[in-house]
Structure 1
Amino acid sequence: MPELSEPKSIAQPVRALGLTEAEARARQQRYGPNAVEATPPDSWVRVLLRQFRSLIVAVLSGAAIFSFAFHDYAEGYAILAVVLINAGIGFWLEWNAQASMTALRRLGQTTARVLREGQVRAIPSDEVTVGDVLLVEAGEVVAADSRLFEAQQLQVNESTLTGESMPVSKTLPATAVPPTEQTGGLLFKGTAVVNGTGRATVTGVGGGTQLGEIARLMQQAERTATPLEAKLARLTRQLVMLTVGLAGLYVLLGLWRGKPVHLLLETAIVLAVAAIPEGMAIVATLALAYGMLRLAHRQVLVKRLAAVETLGSTDIIFTDKTGTLTQNQMAVHTVWLPEAQLTFPPTTGHMQAVAAGEAYQRLLRAAVLCNNATYSSAHPEAALGDPLEVALLALAAESHFAVADVQAMTRLAEQPFNSDTRLMATLHRQPNAGSLVTVKGAAEDVLRLCMRQQAATGALPLAVAEQAEWLLRAEQLAQTGLRTLALAQRIQTDENPTDLARDLTWLGMVAFLDPARPEVIPAIEACQRAGIRVLMVTGDHPATALTVARQVHLAPETAELTITGSELAALLAQPAVPGHGLQQTCVFARVSPAQKLDLISYYQQQGHVVAMIGDGVNDAPALKKADIGVAMGLHGTQVASEAASLVLRDDSFASVVAAVEQGRIIFTNIRRFVLYLVSCNLSELLVVLAAGLAGVDSVLLPLQILFLNLLTDVFPALALSVGKGSRHVMEQPPHDPQSPMMRPTDWQLAGAYAALMTAALLGCYYVARHHFGFGPATATTILFYGLATAQLVHVSNMAGSRHRHFTDNDVLRNRYVWLALALCTILLLLSYYLPLFRQLLGIQPLTLPALLLVLVPAGAVLGLGPLLHHIFSWRKLPTRHIGAVTDRVAARAV
């Protein structure tokens, strides 16, 4: 932890004058800027070089080098063009995401008020230095860690550090205690002043603050590769191994047969180009970018493209409480009058009648008068003061109470709240005669004063049982995490301001709670239906955390177990077995930033994909450590936004559910177009390999294969990647993060599709040569266009559901698929009719019989492809589902 006292080398500043400008500059040189060290953005060179770090790029670059060595310059330049196009798209997307976050940081720069040479000056917060006299007041953010030497009713919201939604009162003298227990006169950088004023001596800046310590912890938290990145990398390795193995096998067989080495190497290049789907990286990037644009319309800023898909496989979501599940502002939850209890908002007619009664009106009058906050129902966001006092004014306004008329009563005296009496009292002149004393404070202290009043006036005192009953009610409210205030009053004939808190009449109690966000309950229920476990992790009190968890349906009403930070270390050390304590609770309270990291690591080691949602500085390390970090961008801290992969611009938990849904759709689309690409490229590989082994050379040229891969692969695959997906995607469990992109049955299905196209194509090639007597160049042209049309119609086999009618699936309802097919058809026609394309691709004129042969492979794919799809889809069905499917089929037959 950073030191919380003034450095010994610094003399006590002259508090009346502050530092001189010369001394301030000297200390800025010594202690550095008052800026938390952020991870520096990568240079454009580093971002660009990162685009070339893949096995596919290495293999294609090797193929280009061999092409240049054999003087096949057109092929070499074409391969390099593919590599550069892919790198350019990736660079553009990543650089723009980085630039947007840099702009966000610039918008977050603030100023601070300091005393320099006896004058108050507003300076950029990063120029504040150790020894400065810092001036703070309600509505400001503390610019640096400081020690107070003056404070007037100063209260600071430290929820960004501790998770506590209630402000902390700052009194003198300060004591060095952990921030989770801070009650003294220490101010921390990044916390918000909600009430009062103060002056403090700066003791730490930049990395020497509590904020800086957490920032260092955040930088130590390493971010692992996302599941999508890992799966695509694994698929790339598999394709490269397949390419190298088959190409090596072909070369060895050719050498054994005595074929020239340069011809074998040229064919190996063709095999490499055919086996690797060059468009896969481009399409995957654009699919994620399209998902990013969709989420942008839902106010979600995506900093890392792969993070969109990660939410699709997330099965654990850690969420902060304050500011994430709740609104980080207090509101009245319960009003307990002598004759009735009101829970807000009152819904029944009886409760509404009680709210209109005289007892409730007296309580509201006391709540408005014994109050120093400012509130306007027209602009509630501009309220200032103690959150409990703001909540009381908001309650009066919502109850249509005449707030302005009551506030017009002249205040004659005030007894401020202090830790000894634990209450506040005010004296007001009444419009007619006499004066009114209003009091609010801790229930036991106010009750004690009310009993003395009744005894002094000769009235029967509150019975011991009645007093105990009120104290029990207060204790019950406190145990459920509610903050309570008691209110009382006294009417007197004079305006004597001495000893205000005496001889009081009991009015009742008010209980407060940081209210849940309205969109949280349906969002959490959607997560639970989707098989996602939502866990609350907060620095707040266990009772408060459990109450909020019940309110938002994160925990059942019967749930009692919460785990605190002090209990966590022992549980994390235990083996993860069924019935383990961590499996039985969904609420973790009094948890430090370091313990959040331990929790995330624990679940990651169990094979879970973990998302973390937070808004405070204390959440930043966990946001970075998690597989996917989601920060609240509207009212969250800059440090949290820096650490996260996703930033919610509307601070809505429902946006997280939208991101999860979009992530699942993207993963399904990516798996679909990967199957399409692999099956198409395998068909090219098998055609070249089978023809080569049969002694037929150059059935497909490298430029022809590149043209196919950049045309028929990219555009249909791109169309598949932007499908809207099934509306039932959130009713299914998360996909297994350990499952590869291509499962064994997917490889088998891709192989079956490729074998079908290969058999049809080679059959057409044989018929063209031996039945119609076409030459090798014409037969190659037939093979080229036959493969192109077969791959185009093959997109229809990527149907999204195996249980719907053939014409009612995600593919045929995707308008982009039809646009892609039309575009590819136009480009194929141009390749036939434009002389430049014909020369580069070696295209020969085709007669009517040749054109009919071109259509044969497409007809085979259309006719037999759906049959293969249903066969392998049935094989992929879990045994427990086969009976249900059989029953549905039988019912339809009847």
Structure 2
Amino acid sequence: MLSSQNEENNKYWALDADTIAKVCATDSTSGLTREEAAKRLIRYGYNNVITARKNKALLILLRQFTSPFTLLLGISTILSFFFREWLDGFAILIVIILNIIVGFLMEYQAHRSIKALEKLNIVHARIIRDGQMVEIKSDLLVPGDLLFVETGGMVTADARIINSKQLQVDESMLSGESFPADKICYPLPANTALVERHNMLYKGTLVTKGNGLAIIVNTGIKTEVGKLADIVQQSEQTATPLEIKVRQLSTKLIWITLALIIVILTGSFFYGTPVTKVIKIAIALSVAAIPEGLPVVTTLVLSFGVLRMAKHKAIIKKLSAVETLGEINVICTDKTGTLTKNNIEVSLIHIPDLSAHVQIDATGTSIHWMENNCISRAIAYDHLCKISALCNTAVYQPGGDVSTTSGSPLEIALLKMVHASGAKLTQYQQAFSKIDELPFSSETRVMFTRHKEKDRRQYYVSAKGAAEEILKYCTSVEAENGKSQMGEEEREQWKTIATKHAQSGFRMLAFAYRETSAYEQYFMHDLTLAGIIGFSDPLREGVKEAIKECKKAGIRIVMITGDHPETAKNIALQLGISTPTEEVMPGSAMKPYDQLTVSDREKWLNSTVFARVSPEQKQQLIAVLQDERMIVAMTGDGVNDAPALKKADIGVAMGQRGTQVAREAADMILKDDAFTTIVSAVRQGRIILENIRKYVIFLLSCNLSELLTFTVCALFNLPFQLLPLQILFINFVTDVMPALALGVSYSGDQIMQRKPYPPGTPIIDKKRWMAILVYSLIITVTTLAAVATSYLILRDKEQKYAVYNNILFYTLIFSQLLQVFNMTFNRKIAFHKTDVFRNQAIWYSIAGCVILSFVAYWTTPVRLALEITSISWQNWSIILLYSILPVVIIRCLKKWKWTI
């Protein structure tokens, strides 16, 4: 066990590997035992960086007081009290308090919802315990654990490197250096600065190349990141572009309100209206114009939408991504694991002169040869198995029905093949100790390892990779009667064989080796080809249908893969991404971005399948698409995909097979790696944007109708105009609940049957502003018509102005509540099948609002405050008729396409 002195004073970078193992009381080959690890977890605690929490609740509460709407209502309250309008003043104050409470609760719940999503993206670590490679949650790591890191992973604790293979780590979060640091194993001087401790790994940094083994020396708060806890403290959630647009819209409304107040006040003074009445008019106008629920509902709808996406296995890391999702018109997707199941199995084996389709048992216990089972006895096949076992960093431990696996699915498939062939993986690994490795990369598309044979001064070089790349290193081929020389003609023949199998949909890899008694610095040459292996990966269910849905929605699908062009074309044809006449764009034919001609750009824009593409070319393709003002989503899983993920408008990382580097760079993480999840997220993004537009139109049309109604009554000096308290009650009843119900609505099928809105489209464009004006005018006219009808038809001389005021009051309430049914883009007059009509939340909100309206009618104190009098059944009939009339008129206008 580590002593407290060692914990505090040891300069681990200055110690050699053996000393580090002693200091940490661990074994440098087999790691800790499970029992010892459990004891240390109790002693050192979980591997979490605990930082002081900022008082989020207080900040959210204070933010409610700075809302422009709250400030304007505050001024109205002060004016009411100044002119001794105590009832109005207290009523507005109560509304302010209620808005602050509701706003706080909604925003706080939204904040908690977003925080809850962070727990869904759990980081795991690969360690050696009891001599076995296992994968555990990173918070369970303890000092003394043997940590294995490789390309694309996140370093999950501070550790001293004891073995590394071309290991490079991005430590910019600690050092500020933009270039990855090359890592070493040997000790460094004790006074070495933090940024120069190249034999150390630090928690939170990202592995960009190679792999390595390290002994964990510090976890949790004792790590360098823990000591500098402030740098990992989450920054405040900034406003999303959508929220900024809503704030801008709110500001415009306030300026419009102030302008109207000035106009009406000027007119009132001109007519000689008393000052107190003028002030009342100003207060009423300010109250009528303000859609108090607008910012609150926007925040809650965004967070609700993000949670809904999480249920569909799409984790949104930033709220701003929601808006972009709804505007996507190009999805650039990987093939393996996204369009396919990533359930990779060895299905074809080709050695010189012989080829056979194979089927490996699901448990990895047997291999079924569909033809040419004599391959299993060939020397070349022996080498294929040996290379598959040695040139591999995955873990496969057979266990009956359930096997323990870790690493690349393709490498796991190779280990299953070896095991099914009757060979013992441990025998290969014990007989040949790895001494050198050139890890696989997207640029080279090959992997090399060098091994020393136990008890012999013999070295074995193994290599696997893309056929055309491996063949460059080969000078001979393994045949039954011995090795034969490989010239250009033979090399082209093997390329043709690989291409032929790729056309059938197989992913092809070539395998080569070299045996030598001499240790050479450069060992990647003069290889002997053992054969090629074809892998099958079935298509995911529902992908074909999802691609059809995207095309209907005006979203273009572009498949980008590192596979052979013929393999890519085969899959693209099956899924309907491309047609038989379309050519695949190979990476070798793609010029650098700055050398592209107009013709080159046209070819890129017209291509739907890109094969053998490098990470840099992915970035360049995104740039070309964005130059055409396209909103691009890009999927990725590797460390080299990170720049492309950042470049795209929406970076989509894989949750299962994606590296931590890719996840850090992405805006969205797919928990199931499925293309259908991307489409589902796009659909949800569109629904959220559509719902926001719906409730903004609803709120503005309702509030404008109040404003117009009050303005008409004020300009004509009508004696039954609305009171400030009545307008406050109308807004309280009709604003938040129906708007929130609209915000959580599931839009109809047409949401994915239209093209995306052009980039930069405002929440409310000219067409929608016109619709708002039309809606509000219709509500205003029918509301005033209700009063006129009561006056002309009933002609009750005993009827007081208070009754006409009440007719105006209740007609506005009910017509605004029913206005919610017009918030659909279905143009049929009968709307019982629309998404709004089928939304249960709408019905609950309307029922609740109607109940509140009648509670005000029946409750004496509220009734007196709102100056509500007794209303006859004839007048109730008029109120009901003229409340329904706007819905009928607007539905007809929609049917005739005179409004949206």
TM-score over 0.5 (shorter chain): yes
Change in CA separation of 1:591 and 1:646 when aligned onto 2, cut-off 3 Å: closer
Secondary structure, counterpart of 2:19 in structure 1: coil
Deviation at 1:779, TM superposition (A): 1.9
Which residue number in structure 2 is paired with residue 403 of structure 1?
422
After TM superposition, list the pairs within 5 Å mapping 1:473-484 onto structure 2.
473=496, 484=509
- Partner-residue secondary structure (3-state), 1:757: helix
Distance of 2:75 and 2:667 partners within structure 1 = 35
Match of 1:81 in 2: 97
Supply the AA of the counterpart residue of 1:842: E
**Counterparts of 2:72 and 2:876 in 1: how far apart (Å)?**
35
Question: How many Å apart are 1:80 and its aligned residue?
Answer: 0.7
Is 2:75 the counterpart of 1:62? yes
Within 5 Å, which residues of 2 pair with 1:227-306?
228-305=242-319
CA shift in 2, pair 1:750/1:19, >3 Å = same
- 2:552/2:752 contact within 8 Å kept: yes
The runs of 5 or more residues in structure 1 that have no matched partner are: 1-8, 23-33, 115-121, 162-168, 175-183, 429-436, 491-496, 877-894
Q: State the partner residue of 2:481.
A: 454
Alignment partner of 1:313 out of 324, 327, 330: 327
2:785 matches 1:772: no
Give the CA deviation at 1:287: 3.4
The residue aligned with 1:375 is 396
Distance 2:747 2:509 in 1: 49
Deviations 1:64-121 (A, max 9, x none): 333343343223213313430442134213320353256568x64869899xxxxxxx
Correspondences of 1:846-861 after superposition (within 5 Å): 846-861=871-886
Tell me which amino acid in the other structure corresponds to 1:735: Y
Aligned partner of 1:335 in structure 2 is 349
- CA drift of 1:465 comes to 9.0
Counterpart pick for 1:686 among 708, 732, 750: 708
Over the matched positions of the two proteins, sequence identity in percent amounts to 29
Q: Which residue of 2 aligns with 1:790?
A: 815
The C-alpha deviation readout for 1:798-820, integer Å capped at 9, x for no partner, is 34411474443223333333333
Against the structure 1 CA distance between its residues 731 and 796, is the aligned structure 2 distance closer, same or farther, given a 3 Å change threshold?
closer
Equivalent position amino acid for 1:782 in 2: I
Moved more, 445-454 or 784-793: 445-454
Is 1:358–2:374 an aligned residue pair? yes
1:386 positional shift:
8.5
Query: What secondary structure is seen at the aligned counterpart in 2 of 1:733?
Result: coil
- Counterpart in 1 of 2:193? none
SS in 2 for 1:579: helix
Alignment of 1:60-139 (within 5 A): 60-71=73-84, 72-100=88-116, 103=119, 108=123, 136-137=147-148
Letter in 2 for 1:81: I
CA distance in 2 between partners of 1:35 and 1:732 (Å):
46
Tell me if 1:716 matches 2:718: no
Q: How does 1:129-278 map to 2 (within 5 A)?
A: 136-137=147-148, 142=155, 150=163, 189-191=205-207, 226=240, 228-278=242-292
Report the equivalent of 1:839.
Answer: 864
1:667 corresponding residue in structure 2: 689
SS in 2 for 1:336: strand
Distance 2:55 2:305 in 1: 24
| Equivalent in the alignment of 1:755 | 777
TM-score (norm 1): 0.70
- 3-state SS of paired residue (2:532): strand
SS of 1:510 mapped into structure 2: strand
Q: Is the 8 A contact 1:97 1:302 kept in 2?
A: no
Q: CA deviation at 1:375?
A: 2.4
Q: Counterpart in 1 of 2:44?
A: none
**Residue in 2 aligned with 1:510?**
533
Aligned with residue 530 of structure 1, among 546, 550, 553: 553
Corresponding position of 2:3: none
Tell me, in whole angstroms, the C-alpha distance in 1 between the residues paired with 2:614 and 2:760.
Answer: 33
Q: Tell me, in whole angstroms, the C-alpha distance in 2 between the residues paired with 1:123 and 1:756.
A: 61
- Partner Cα separation in structure 1 for residue 758 and residue 613 of structure 2: 30
Report the Cα offset of residue 842 of structure 1.
Answer: 1.5
* CA separation of 1:251 and 1:854: change in aligned 2, threshold 3 A: same
Which secondary structure state, in structure 1, belongs to the residue aligned with residue 602 of structure 2? coil
172 and 793 in structure 1: CA distance in 2 versus 1, 3 angstrom threshold = closer
Residues 700 and 452 from structure 1, CA distance in 2 versus in 1: closer, same or farther, beyond 3 angstroms? closer
Distance 2:757 2:83 in 1: 47
Report the CA distance shift for 1:318/1:46 in structure 2 as closer, same or farther (over 3 A).
farther
Cα 1:610–1:37 change in 2 (3 A) is farther
State the 1:643 CA deviation: 6.0
2:568–2:609 contact (8 Å) kept in structure 1 = no
For residues 380-779 of structure 1, what are the structure 2 equivalents within 5 Å?
A: 382-383=404-405, 390-395=412-417, 401=420, 403=422, 414=432, 441=463, 454=481, 467-468=490-491, 470-473=493-496, 484-486=509-511, 508-511=531-534, 523-524=546-547, 526-534=549-557, 551=571, 558-562=583-587, 567-569=592-594, 579=602, 587=610, 589-591=613-615, 596=619, 607-615=629-637, 628-634=650-656, 636=658, 645-696=667-718, 699-766=721-788, 768=790, 771-773=795-797, 774-779=799-804
8 Å CA contact 2:583–2:607 kept in 1: the answer is no
Q: Please identify, of 686-695 and 81-90, the stretch whose mean Cα deviation from structure 2 is larger.
A: 81-90
Q: Give the C-alpha shift of residue 746 in structure 1.
A: 2.8
TM value normalised by structure 2: 0.70
Q: Secondary structure at the match of 1:17?
A: helix
Tell which deviates more after alignment, 415-424 or 380-389.
415-424
1:866 matched to 2:891: yes
Q: Give the letter for the 2:292 counterpart.
A: E
Secondary structure of residue in 2 paired with 1:509: strand
Indicate how the Cα distance of structure 1 residues 324 and 853 shifts in structure 2: closer, same or farther if over 3 A, else same.
closer
AA aligned to 2:743 is: S
Deviation readout 1:182-230 (Å, 9 max, x if unpaired): xx9998954499988578999xx99999xx9xx99x99xx999755335
Structure 1 residues 473 and 705 mapped into 2: Cα distance closer, same or farther (>3 Å)? Answer: same
CA distance in structure 2 between the partners assigned to 1:66 and 1:665 by the alignment: 42
RMSD: 5.9
Contact 1:147-1:186 at 8 Å conserved across structures:
yes
Match of 2:854 among 815, 826, 829: 829
Deviation at 1:711, TM superposition (A): 1.6
C-alpha displacement at 1:784, in angstroms? 1.0
**Partners in 2 of 1:523 and 1:157 — Cα distance?**
39
Shift of 1:828: 1.9
**In the TM superposition, what is the alpha-carbon distance from 1:286 to its structure 2 partner?**
3.9
8 Å Cα contact 1:414-1:427 kept in structure 2: yes
TM-aligned CA distance change 1:47 to 1:643, over 3 Å: farther
Matches of 2:568 and 2:508, distance apart in 1: 13
Classify 1:803/1:818 alpha carbon distance in 2 versus 1 (closer, same or farther; 3 Å): same
State the 1:863 CA deviation: 4.1
